[in-house]
Amino acid sequence: MPDLAPLRPEDPEHVREYRLTARLGEGGQGTVYLGESPTGARVAVKLLRADLTQDAEAMERFVREVSTTRRVSPFCTAAVLDTGVEHERPYIVSEYIDGPTLQEVVTGQGPRTGSALHRLAIGTVTALVAIHQAEIVHRDFKPSNVLLAPDGPRVIDFGIAKALDRTSTLTGTAIGTPAYMTPEQLAGDNAGSPADMFAWGCTMVFAATGSPPFGTDSLAAIFNRIMNLTPDLSAITDPALRELVGHCLAKDPAQRPTASEALMRLLGHATGASGMTGGASTGSALPAASQGILAEGSAVAAQHTGPDASLYQAGPRTDAQIESPYHSGSPYQTASPYQATPPYETASPYQATPPYQTGPDSHATYPAAAQGVSYQPGFDNHPHQSGPLAAAPHQAGLGGYPQAGSGGYPLPHGFVPHETTYPVGHGPRPDGGRRMRRIWAVVGAGLALTLVAVTITLVVRNGATDTRASDTKRVTTSPTATPTPTPSVPAIPPADRKIKLPGSSLTVHESDKDPIKLASYTILTGQTNNLYVRKTDTDEFVKSDKYRHYTPNPAGTHALATDFYYSTDNYEVVTIVDHGTGAESKVKIAKSPVYGLYPYWSPDGTKGLLTLLEAGENNAPPKPYGFAVIDVATKKAKVVRVKEKDVGDWAYFWRGDGKAIGTWAINGDTQRIRFYDPQGTILQTLLDAGTPLPVEAEEVNPSGTLIMTYCKGTEQEICTWSTVADGEPKARIPFATKRVIGWYDDNHIVAWRKRGSVHEAVVIDFKGQVKRVLATSTNAKEYEDQFMRYVRTGG
């Protein structure tokens, strides 16, 4: 926490209703105290020097100027709570931030590197976007005005320098810190929001090197470099960040990007906001979805939990100590370059299938396949469940099955390629009064599609999780981590029975001790879709003609099922099936042309999740829509329209704690995992989590701590990563596969391999060693089109 000093005899005990408890610092503008509001909340109270505003009119102008800062959105800033005048001294009350300054951290711990520097850049520029959108200019952006809180960086003291500049009766008073001033300020010109971007660039150089870009020696030397020299940015080894900082340090303010443009670039979005010209007083606003972008920037920055608190013990400071938010002047250290995060792999775009329409004589009508597109089965053509969306909406009667993706099987987290359609199901509607949905099979970027032949839904047991680390040398730990003994991993139980699945060549090898169990599967015979559902607590599967997908909850008491057809009033419907009574509750999701894919239960079994798409018009490809969260108790659905342009290629999934909903966010070569809350607010973004891996079941392990992806730059290894923070992979599994079923337990995954003419789904450990066969397929064509999925049991 920031250093505290006791109050001095001359210090006031109160400023208006705020009780002062300690000193936080003192500088050229005044003294900052730790205070307490009437409600007991801790606040920072800045009491300015009386001589800065020597008459009542100047004080009134100052208070009016500073009060405008209260409208700044609370993204990566310390909120201004109150302002006024006490005993002829202006005061400002703001949110108290418990954390050291960037100045302190860099001076004490050294330069910021890698993803920490990237998150710092995102957080601080997010704050500037919020400040500029409120038509405020910081005018004193520098390392000592950036606090590193447990929830990410916070920018403080915005707007005060400009307010003093306009109202101070003192002549010759420099407003700003010399090393972070701009050419236009030194030339006596108006310093608008481009000046903040120049100071932001200087601050990023300091963060990466330990020194401001124009030195710390004499004022004449510093000012000469600011006006005439180009700084050395070679210590910033990330080319994108280095380029952005260089643009911000342009001598001409009109050539600098706005804060909005800088944030969009850092987040990997296309920049569309117009730039600010020199002398403007505010930054260009983001587009209409700016709150979402600000929330994303804040969420990314919040993943950094701050420096080691032990380095910043409470206690009074001396004048020789490093700079606080309220001190001026500090020593600097030389920098060490950091390793940049490598670029992400490219992902394929998606397309999904639109709803059915009906033609004459109550028959479904279908678009023709795109010219020149072939539909070829094959193992290499599978984008799997967690891959980009490739699922279709509703079946065209019993004669048609929803085409799911390249390779043809439905992908609950799967991928839907671009621009082509495939006619499926020409049979009549069983119910002429219902509007049936047309199925599209779509493909792009060299992927080819075939019909869905087999869909299998399985169940993973609650309580069968094991959070112990795998006994493997492949597990990657931090270089500074203290080695600890690795406990043994429980043995995988041998299968004690084989279940031949009706209507297929598949055989499931099971044990009652398995943490997973087959729950349902779907077989396509010709153009007829056949769904088989496992009867509770038996090995018997019965055919159901009502649904496309059927997913039991962890306890086995209920199931979520997607209906074949829209309701009579044209709504997408999910049915909640009570296994005890057989009762069915219909939940309306969204009106046509919106449709849903693959219901998933939350980890606690109380909610369902559905990925939503919107069918295109006139045979156009469908568009991403968002997701729906289904409350099983109330039998109601919350539909969230997700507007971020970089999501929608991949389906949504539950984070392990059940409090957030994740998906891949892809923009060109930039691939990240983003988490939303159930209302659609961005909570977290994992910047460095490998590249998307097609996973047919759950991407997050049973204990909710790890997510699996391909390791960066290869499909020969699978990496596991923390679900809560960026860092090195927790394990690298050497197993080449294009199809992963999901997690067996916390220490094993299930993936496919080929042995002779038989395809096997095998349980493997983190060393890539096969521990047991879980399922086999003896029909190559069927294997190429099949899909397997697991959900938890024993809840």
Question: What is the CATH number for 517?
Answer: 2.120.10
Between CA 644 and CA 650 the distance in angstroms is 13
> How does strand 558-563 pair with strand 571-578?
antiparallel
More confident residue, 712 or 280: 712
Determine if the peptide bond prior to 593 is cis (ω within 30°): yes
* Catalytic hit among 11, 55, 98, 140: 140
Between CA 665 and CA 411 the distance in angstroms is 17
Q: Could you give the number of structural domains in the chain?
A: 2
| Residue 273 scores a pLDDT above 90 | no
Between CA 551 and CA 553 the distance in angstroms is 7
Residue 745 pLDDT: 92
More confident residue, 304 or 774: 774
Between CA 333 and CA 110 the distance in angstroms is 7
Tokens of 140: 């004193």
Close Cβ partners of 484 (under 8 Å, ≥ 6 residues apart)? none
Average pLDDT of the residues of the chain: 73
Q: Of 280, 306, 332, which closes a domain?
A: 306
pLDDT band at 387; cut points 50, 70, 90: very low
Which of 272-281, 506-515, 754-763 shows the lowest per-residue confidence on average (mean pLDDT)?
272-281
Between CA 612 and CA 789 the distance in angstroms is 19
Tell whether 355 is covered by a domain.
no
Tell whether 663 is covered by a domain.
yes
pLDDT band at 348; cut points 50, 70, 90: very low
| Residue 612 scores a pLDDT above 50 | yes
Residue 527 pLDDT: 67
More confident residue, 224 or 151: 224
Between CA 339 and CA 763 the distance in angstroms is 36
pLDDT band at 299; cut points 50, 70, 90: confident
Between CA 100 and CA 393 the distance in angstroms is 52
Between CA 363 and CA 359 the distance in angstroms is 5
More confident residue, 523 or 360: 523
Classify residue 397 by its DSSP letter.
G
The answer to whether 685 touches 662, Cβ cutoff 8 Å, is no
Residue 231 pLDDT: 93
726 is catalytic: no
Q: What is the mean pLDDT of residues 207-225?
A: 93
Between CA 176 and CA 561 the distance in angstroms is 63
- Domain coverage including residue 605: 454-789
Q: What is the mean pLDDT of residues 127-144?
A: 90
Q: Of 306, 335, 354, which closes a domain?
A: 306
**Per-residue model confidence as pLDDT tens digits over 748-785:** 999 999 998 999 999 999 999 999 999 999 988 878 77
| Residue 439 scores a pLDDT above 70 | no
Residue 359 pLDDT: 35
Classify residue 780 by its DSSP letter.
H
**Per-residue model confidence as pLDDT tens digits over 44-77:** 999 887 776 556 666 776 777 777 777 787 788 8
Between CA 463 and CA 708 the distance in angstroms is 21
Tell whether 357 is covered by a domain.
no
Between CA 75 and CA 462 the distance in angstroms is 38
Which residues on adjacent β-strands are paired with residue 627?
Answer: 611, 640
Q: Which residues of 682-713 are buried (b: 16+ CB within 10 A; e: fewer)?
A: bbbbbbbbbbbbbbbbbbbbbbbbbbbbbbbe
Backbone angles phi, psi at 541, to 5 degrees: -115, 135
Between CA 530 and CA 401 the distance in angstroms is 9
Angle at CA 514, nearest 5°, toward 511 and 515?
160
The answer to whether 127 touches 153, Cβ cutoff 8 Å, is yes
How many other CB atoms are found less than 10 A from the CB of residue 239? 10
Between CA 156 and CA 124 the distance in angstroms is 10
Tell whether 75 is covered by a domain.
yes
Closest CA to 249 of 298, 295, 196, 292: 196
Question: Any idea which residue has 């260009």 for tokens?
Answer: 284
**Alpha helices, H only, 691-747:** none
Tell whether 526 is covered by a domain.
yes
Between CA 693 and CA 669 the distance in angstroms is 15
Between CA 402 and CA 383 the distance in angstroms is 15
Closest CA to 579 of 603, 597, 555: 555
| Residue 580 scores a pLDDT above 50 | yes
How much of the chain exceeds pLDDT 90, in percent?
34
The answer to whether 746 touches 702, Cβ cutoff 8 Å, is yes
Tell whether 314 is covered by a domain.
no
More confident residue, 700 or 781: 700
pLDDT band at 362; cut points 50, 70, 90: very low
Residue 791 pLDDT: 76
Residue 787 pLDDT: 76
**Per-residue model confidence as pLDDT tens digits over 308-317:** 333 223 233 3
10 Å CB burial of residue 566 (0-12, 13-18, 19+) is buried
Between CA 790 and CA 602 the distance in angstroms is 13
Domain CATH code at residue 21 = 1.10.510.10
More confident residue, 301 or 291: 301
The answer to whether 629 touches 637, Cβ cutoff 8 Å, is yes
Tokens of 628: 């729906």
Between CA 275 and CA 257 the distance in angstroms is 6
Q: What is the mean pLDDT of residues 371-383?
A: 29
**Alpha helices, H only, 426-487:** none
User: What pTM value is reported for the model?
Assistant: 0.48
Closest CA to 672 of 82, 119, 18: 119
To the nearest 10°, the Cα dihedral for 774, 777, 782, 785?
Answer: 30
pLDDT band at 319; cut points 50, 70, 90: very low
Between CA 590 and CA 351 the distance in angstroms is 19
Which of 205-209, 289-293, 455-459, 534-538 shows the lowest per-residue confidence on average (mean pLDDT)?
455-459
Question: Any idea which residue has 């089965």 for tokens?
Answer: 377
Tokens of 500: 């031949």
Q: Averaging pLDDT over each range in 60-64, 188-192, 439-443, which range is the top one?
A: 188-192
Tell whether 345 is covered by a domain.
no
Q: How many residues make up the chain in this entry?
A: 795
pLDDT band at 271; cut points 50, 70, 90: low
Residue 154 pLDDT: 93
Which of 104-108, 143-147, 493-497, 655-659 shows the lowest per-residue confidence on average (mean pLDDT)?
655-659
Tell whether 193 is covered by a domain.
yes
Angle at CA 501, nearest 5°, toward 499 and 507?
55
**Per-residue model confidence as pLDDT tens digits over 729-738:** 899 999 999 8
User: Where is 129: in which H helix or E strand?
Assistant: helix 114-133
Q: Of 275, 306, 337, which closes a domain?
A: 306
Closest CA to 603 of 704, 679, 743: 704
Cα torsion 723, 291, 414, 356: sign:
positive
**Per-residue model confidence as pLDDT tens digits over 455-498:** 344 444 333 333 323 333 333 333 333 444 444 567 899 999 99
pLDDT band at 393; cut points 50, 70, 90: very low
Between CA 530 and CA 536 the distance in angstroms is 19
Residue 442 pLDDT: 27
| Residue 253 scores a pLDDT above 60 | yes
| Residue 443 scores a pLDDT above 70 | no
Tokens of 63: 């208070």
How many other CB atoms are found less than 10 A from the CB of residue 535? 10
Close Cβ partners of 197 (under 8 Å, ≥ 6 residues apart)? 128, 248, 256, 257, 258, 259, 262
Backbone angles phi, psi at 744, to 5 degrees: -85, -55
How many other CB atoms are found less than 10 A from the CB of residue 484? 8
More confident residue, 522 or 285: 522
What's the N-to-C CA distance of the chain in angstroms? 43
The answer to whether 554 touches 793, Cβ cutoff 8 Å, is yes
Residue 441 pLDDT: 26
10 Å CB burial of residue 679 (0-12, 13-18, 19+) is exposed
Close Cβ partners of 367 (under 8 Å, ≥ 6 residues apart)? 421, 423, 438, 440, 619
To the nearest 10°, the Cα dihedral for 641, 645, 648, 650?
Answer: -140
Angle at CA 246, nearest 5°, toward 244 and 252?
110
More confident residue, 356 or 468: 356
The answer to whether 200 touches 260, Cβ cutoff 8 Å, is no
Question: Any idea which residue has 């999910």 for tokens?
Answer: 574
More confident residue, 174 or 126: 126
Between CA 155 and CA 260 the distance in angstroms is 16
pLDDT band at 554; cut points 50, 70, 90: confident
Q: Which amino acid is at 518?
A: L
Closest CA to 46 of 10, 1, 81: 81
More confident residue, 722 or 29: 722
Residue 394 pLDDT: 45
